[in-house]
C-alpha cells in the first residue's frame, strides 16, 4: 500500500539531512502542513531547536491577494514558519524523491475565535468555543472555502488532505485542559457541541425547532449528567436525552450544513487544482461526531472527494463503513500513530497495516515523521524497507 508520513515544515527547514532521513524510512509520500492550528511540537533531530511553539493558527506560506479587505482572513505564521516555509520544505522533500501533498487544517482556529468571537460555536449555556468556528455562518464558510483552495493547491503539491472540514465542538486538545472531570460520553459531547449562534438558531427554526426551547431542553437533559448520570449509548443516547424528534431535527440541520461545506470546499480545491490533483478528507464515518476527523456520511463524502483518511490506532475500525460503499477508485487511507510516546505502536506496524488492509484500506498514513524518535522511525523503516 502507498504510504505517506505527516511532516511539518519546521521539521525540514534548517536541517539539511531531514528530507533524506524521511525518505529513508521507506515512505513514498509526505503530507506536509500548509495551514495548521496552534501547537507545541518536539523536533527531536533538528540541529537548531528541540521545541517549536506555533502560537496561533496560521498559513505556512504567504497568502495571496484574494484576502484584501476581508474581515475574516488567514493569519501568517511567526518565526516558527517564516516566509514560504511550506514551499521551502516541499522543495527539499521533492528533491529527496518524495511526492508532496498538502495538509490543510480548516475549522479549528483559536486566534480567530479570540479576535472575532462572533465566529465561534456557542453552546446551550452561552459559552463560546473560540477554537471552533461555526461552519453555519456565511462569512466563516466563505473563508474556509477559499482557505481550502489556497492552502491545498501549493506549487509542487500533487494532492491535499483537508482536516477539520466539518463541525468542531467541545472536545479539544487545549493547553491545560480541565474538561474531563465529568464523563460526558458520546451523547453528552454532542449536546455540548450544539451551536446556538444566530445562524444556527435560524437553522433550527427551519427544522421546526424553537432555539430557546431547544437550548433549555439541552440544559435540562444535561443536568443529570453533571451530577454523574451516564450519557453514553451513541445516537440512541442523544435521542434518550433530548427526545427522538428533537434530536433528529438538530442532526438534520448539522448534517446538511457540514455536507454543503464539504461540497463547496472540495469544489473550490478542484477548480484551483490541475488535473489529477487528489483531494482527501480526514473523516469519521459517524456524521454527528465533531473534531479534526470531521463527521461525514460515508456515501456522500466518497461522492465528493477522492477518498478519506481515517484514524485506525488502538483497534478502532472506522474503515468498514467506507469500504462498504464499494466505490471504485476511492482512497481509504488508514492513519496509524507511530510515535510511541503519544500512544502509537511502531513495533506492530506490519500487523496493524495488514489489519487495515483486511478492513478495506488502500493506503497508509503515518503520524508523524517529525515527532517520532529515531527508534520509532527505525521500526517503520524495518517494515517498509526491510532490515
- 134-187 pLDDT tens trace: 999 999 999 999 999 999 999 999 999 999 999 999 988 766 676 677 778 899
Going from the N-terminus, what domains does the chain have, and what CATH number goes with each?
2-178+255-384 (3.20.20.80)
> pLDDT value at position 263?
98
- pLDDT (average), residues 40-67: 97
Model confidence at 285: pLDDT above 80 = yes
Burial class (CB in 10 A: 0-12, 13-18, 19+), 103: buried
Q: What is the pLDDT of residues 220-273, one digit of tens each?
A: 999 999 998 887 789 999 999 999 999 999 999 999 999 999 999 999 999 999
**Mean pLDDT value of segment 277-290:** 97
pLDDT at 386: 84
pLDDT in tens, 57-116: 999 999 999 999 999 999 999 999 999 999 999 999 999 999 999 999 999 999 999 999
How far is residue 186 from each of residues 91, 122, 165, 332, measured CA to CA in Å? 43, 19, 20, 25
What distance in Å separates the CA atoms of residue 279 and residue 230, rounded to the nearest whole number?
39
pLDDT score of 184: 86
pLDDT of amino acid 70: 97
Whether pLDDT at 23 is above 70: yes
Residue with cell 508532496: 100
Q: Is the pLDDT of residue 387 over 60?
A: no
Q: What is the C-alpha separation between 247 and 155, in angstroms, rounded? A: 44
pTM summary value: 0.97
The pLDDT tens digits for 322-360 are: 999 999 999 999 999 999 999 999 999 999 999 999 999
Q: Nearest Cα to 19, choosing from 46, 38, 48, 58?
A: 46
Amino acid at each position: 500500500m502507498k504510504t505517506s508520513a505527516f511532516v511539518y515544515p519546521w521539521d525540514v527547514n534548517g536541517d539539511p539531512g531531514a528530507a533524506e532521513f524521511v525518505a529513508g524510512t521507506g515512505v513514498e509520500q509526505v503530507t506536509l502542513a500548509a495551514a495548521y492550528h496552534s501547537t507545541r511540537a518536539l523536533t527531536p533531530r533538528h540541529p537548531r531547536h528541540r521545541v517549536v511553539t506555533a502560537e496561533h493558527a496560521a498559513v505556512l506560506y504567504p497568502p495571496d491577494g484574494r484576502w484584501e479587505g476581508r474581515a475574516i482572513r488567514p493569519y501568517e505564521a511567526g518565526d516558527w514558519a517564516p516566509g514560504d516555509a511550506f514551499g521551502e520544505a516541499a522543495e527539499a522533500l521533492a528533491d529527496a524523491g518524495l511526492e508532496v501533498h498538502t495538509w490543510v487544517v480548516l475549522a479549528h482556529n483559536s486566534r480567530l475565535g479570540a479576535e472575532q468571537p462572533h465566529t465561534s460555536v456557542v453552546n446551550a449555556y452561552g459559552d463560546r468555543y473560540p477554537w471552533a468556528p461555526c461552519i453555519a455562518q456565511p462569512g466563516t464558510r466563505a473563508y474556509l472555502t477559499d482557505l481550502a483552495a489556497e492552502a491545498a493547491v501549493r506549487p509542487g503539491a500533487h494532492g491535499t488532505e483537508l482536516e477539520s472540514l466539518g463541525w468542531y465542538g467541545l472536545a479539544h486538545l487545549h493547553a491545560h485542559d480541565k474538561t474531563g472531570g465529568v464523563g460526558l460520553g458520546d451523547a453528552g459531547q454532542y449536546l455540548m457541541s450544539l451551536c446556538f449562534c444566530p445562524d444556527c438558531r435560524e437553522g433550527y427554526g427551519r427544522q421546526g425547532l424553537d432555539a430557546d426551547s431547544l437550548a433549555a431542553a439541552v440544559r435540562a437533559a444535561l443536568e443529570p449528567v453533571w451530577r454523574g448520570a451516564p450519557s453514553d449509548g451513541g445516537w440512541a443516547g442523544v435521542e434518550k436525552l433530548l427526545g427522538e424528534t428533537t434530536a433528529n431535527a438538530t442532526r438534520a440541520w448539522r448534517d446538511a450544513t457540514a455536507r454543503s461545506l464539504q461540497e463547496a470546499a472540495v469544489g473550490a480545491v478542484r477548480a484551483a487544482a490541475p488535473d489529477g490533483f487528489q483531494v482527501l478528507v480526514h473523516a469519521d464515518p459517524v456524521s454527528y461526531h465533531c473534531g479534526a476527523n470531521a463527521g461525514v456520511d460515508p456515501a456522500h463524502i466518497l461522492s465528493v472527494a477522492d477518498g478519506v483518511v481515517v484514524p485506525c490506532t488502538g483497534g478502532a475500525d472506522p474503515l468498514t463503513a467506507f469500504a462498504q460503499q464499494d466505490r471504485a477508485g476511492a482512497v481509504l487511507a488508514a492513519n496509524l500513530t507511530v510515535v510511541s510516546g503519544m500512544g502509537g505502536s511502531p513495533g506492530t506496524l506490519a500487523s496493524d497495516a495488514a489489519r487495515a488492509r483486511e478492513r478495506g484500506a488502500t493506503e497508509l498514513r503515518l503520524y508523524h515523521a517529525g515527532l517520532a524518535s529515531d527508534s520509532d522511525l527505525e521500526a517503520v523503516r524495518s517494515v517498509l524497507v526491510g532490515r
